[in-house]
Chain A
Amino acid sequence: MMTNHIGEARIKVPDRITRGEVIVVNSIISHPMDTGFFRNADGDPIPAYFIKDVVVTYGEEEVARFEWTSGISRDPVVSFTVQADKEAPLTMIWTDNQGAAFKHSVGISFASA
């Protein structure tokens, strides 16, 4: 079984994008999203440990911001749309409740006609 490091992320956008198109952005990040309600095998409580904030920027513009709780499933996926009106990087920054921030970017570029 393959193990992923906490904070390892992927963002997927369509291969071919035309200017002005509304595209679907899929994302996933590896994170335990511990609720704080469970204990480990030794009986010690597992502290709450989860992504609480996600910021999406497209070029210079912040286009979305998500506030999460540990109610989001382990290895959070989120998908949303973006109107592809410029060639620019789309960046997501996931921040967890211990203050660690994980950043990943993908380029939005248009298919040549």
Chain B
Amino acid sequence: MLGGSDVFGLTWTRQLPSLDSMSDSTDSRRSFLRSCAMGVAGLVVSGAVSRSEGLLAATRLRGPDDPEVPNEEVARILKGLFGDRPIRRGHVSLDMPAVAEDGRVVPVIIESDLPMSKQRYVKGVHLIVDHNPDAHLAAFHLTPALGQVSISTRIKMKRTTWVRAILETNTGEVWAGYTRVLVTLNGCG
């Protein structure tokens, strides 16, 4: 249950960064403007983000229907985690809102039908948000004691992007689920 802040009868306060404080930094300002621009552009030409074909075309990390690897950082993360093993689509449900109205709090539910027995289990779940500043957002290391793969949390998203949930089994198989999430202007914070 990700419903929110009142799950345990507590009120969790939320700090809002102000626009003024953001514009003090050139860097923040630039990324802020870019985020906003992307937010708008995303609405109009969803998916028509500039694609760096050259270096990444050689990456053999994705199947024909999978989202492109958008930049070298994501390519490096995938390579570092999974080496040359194929990342196959399947056995992973990545449930996120199609439109995230507040990019500071975006619910994520990751589930899998893969077994969690002592012989065969999912040992890691990696959450990668392509266009976030820190794309490899979280890693969840699991054991058979969990009984099944069902993890939920809430994340921050900078702008419209593909999100990848990639599982690794103890036998070395790699399975992925992908979701594209549109982050509206509120996500700039």
Chain B 105-136 per-residue mask, 1 if CB under 8 angstroms from chain A, else 0: 11000000000000000000000010011101
Restricting to A12-30, which residues have a CB under 8 Å from any CB of B?
Answer: 12, 22, 24, 26, 28, 30
Cβ contacts under 8 Å, B31 to chain A: 37
Q: How far is the CB of B26 from chain A (nearest CB, A)?
A: 12
A interface size (C-beta, 8 A): 46
Give the A-B contact count at a CB cut-off of 8 A.
Answer: 144
Tell which of B2-10, B40-48, B88-96 binds the partner.
B2-10
A64 to B151, CA, bound (A): 11
Task: Give, as a whole number of angstroms, the nearest-CB distance from A41 to chain B.
Answer: 6
> Is there an interface contact between B8 and A79, defined as CB atoms closer than 8 Å?
no
If over half of A's interface residues share one DSSP class (helix, strand or loop), that class is named, otherwise mixed; here it is strand
Chain B residues contacting A76 (CB-CB under 8 Å) are: 153-154
Indicate if the CB atoms of B12 and A30 lie closer than 8 Å: yes
Determine whether the beta carbon of B13 is less than 8 Å from that of A64: no
Determine if B21 and A81 form an interchain contact, defined as CB atoms under 8 angstroms apart: no
Q: A2-B11, A39-B28 are in contact. Are A69 and B147 (CB under 8 A)?
A: no
A81-B146 CB under 8 A given contacts A43-B24, A75-B5: yes
| Chain A proximity mask over B132-155: 1 for CB below 8 Å, otherwise 0 | 111011111111011111111111
- Residues A32 and B15 in contact in the complex (CB < 8 Å), given A63-B143, A73-B156, A82-B145: yes
Q: Are A67 and B139 in contact (CB under 8 A)?
A: yes
